[in-house]
Amino acid sequence: MNIFSDIILKARAAWLLSLFCFLLAACEQKPKCEAIAYSGNTMGTIYNIKLVVKPEQRTAAKNTQAAIDALLLDFNQSLSTYIKDSEIMTINAAPINQWIDVSPRFLGVLTLSQEVSALSGGAFDATVAPLVNLWGFGADWRQDDPPTEQQITSAKKNVDFSAIEIDAENFRIKKQKNIALDFSAVAKGYGVDELATYLWQQGFHHFMVEIGGELRLHGHNAEGMPWRIGVESPQTGGEIRPIAVSEVGVATSGDYRNYFERDGVRFSHTIDPATGKPITHSLASVTVVAGSAAKADALATAFSVMGGDKTMALAAKEGIAVYLIERAQEGFSVRHSPAFAPYLLEL
């Protein structure tokens, strides 16, 4: 090695050392992120939001809740079946075979619902409201005796997701039967997505939004790591399966909380549109990870109706990330699709 090469190597080493010291100092001086959390009531449940912000975003983050509450009030006025003059209730009361103008939000929810209905062969159906109400799981919650076969057959006549014509270009729809729409199986997820979009537009790119168990996660937590959440076991005191997620929506659907019993028979709140009756298979809980909370929400409901084997077959075919908890002879068993594996953390 000649003297000039030696000088060059020493100079390069000194430069690298200086760069390392500069980066180290920059990391030490970098403002630490903090998490700001707030919550409130919406859609008959609770919403929770956690923002990871820099010091200069702290004030804006704390002033965001009022705008969030206003957005949710507007959302409910559009999609809630508990508000008599909401958009969805007005549409349900409108006559058949006439074009009805709808909002972009309503059209978005309906279009997604129709896509999942087609994908699941009708297991997800936003027109299932007559059956839900018949079984006592609707807006007027009650626990009467199970309906008769004649009542079920009559209610099923107006359960048909294909009986809606959509004119997306002009934001209007036409009901071809006297159907009643109910987006309760997708609305919370769609609301989560709207909140996530709003936060992103305000410059917040690291957050977790949750409404009634449906989530949307972006960026990282305050420690700079992907968000960690848990898949809850239906079994009291059961194991919670941790997963790491970001840039996705997550939804869980289960029949272990909302049900009633008559003469020793358990009736789930999840109604199969094909039979008109509550599901009877062994699937207790479904967790789906998808590109949006709304799609995860709708798919989780569809899979709850389809049962474990059909769900796994469709998930494998379509590359859907799904985690199932099923009743076994003793306790519960679990299985998941290949697409869900990357989200699992060690216990």
How does pLDDT run across 108-165, given as a tens digit for each residue? Answer: 999 999 999 999 999 999 999 899 888 887 666 566 678 899 999 999 999 999 999 9
Considering only residues 187 and 62, tell me which one the structure prediction assigns the higher pLDDT. 187
Instruction: Inform me whether the pLDDT recorded for 280 exceeds 50.
Output: yes
pLDDT in tens, 87-102: 999 999 999 999 999 9
In the numeric block, which tokens belong to residue 211? 């409404």
Instruction: Inform me whether the pLDDT recorded for 234 exceeds 90.
Output: no
In the prediction, which pLDDT does 25 show? Answer: 37
In the prediction, which pLDDT does 291 show? Answer: 97
pTM of the model: 0.86
Instruction: Inform me whether the pLDDT recorded for 23 exceeds 70.
Output: no
Percent of the chain residues past pLDDT 70, beyond the cut? 83
Average pLDDT over residues 35-54: 95
Average pLDDT over residues 3-26: 38
In the prediction, which pLDDT does 5 show? Answer: 38
Number of other residues whose CB lies within 10 A of the CB of residue 331: 10
Residue with tokens 């039979």: 275
Number of other residues whose CB lies within 10 A of the CB of residue 12: 10
Q: Kindly indicate the confidence band of residue 327, based on its pLDDT and cuts at 50, 70 and 90.
A: confident
What does the chain come to in residues?
347
In the prediction, which pLDDT does 255 show? Answer: 65
Instruction: Inform me whether the pLDDT recorded for 307 exceeds 80.
Output: yes
What's the one-letter identity of residue 142? Answer: R
Considering only residues 86 and 265, tell me which one the structure prediction assigns the higher pLDDT. 86
Average pLDDT over residues 285-291: 96
Q: Kindly indicate the confidence band of residue 232, based on its pLDDT and cuts at 50, 70 and 90.
A: confident
Q: Kindly indicate the confidence band of residue 240, based on its pLDDT and cuts at 50, 70 and 90.
A: confident
Whole-number Å distance between alpha carbons of 179 and 228:
41
Minimum mean pLDDT range among 22-26, 204-208, 265-269, 279-283: 22-26
Considering only residues 325 and 142, tell me which one the structure prediction assigns the higher pLDDT. 325
DSSP state of 65: H
Q: Kindly indicate the confidence band of residue 328, based on its pLDDT and cuts at 50, 70 and 90.
A: confident
| Sheet of 45-53, strands arranged across | 34-42, 45-53, 207-211, 214-218, 248-254, 283-290, 321-327, 332-336
Average pLDDT over residues 2-15: 38
Percent of the chain residues past pLDDT 90, beyond the cut? 70
∠ Cα 81 83 86 (to 5°)? 80
Average pLDDT over residues 317-331: 92
Average pLDDT over residues 181-209: 97
Minimum mean pLDDT range among 8-12, 197-201, 315-319: 8-12
Mean pLDDT, rounded, of the chain = 86
Helix (H) or strand (E) holding 221: none
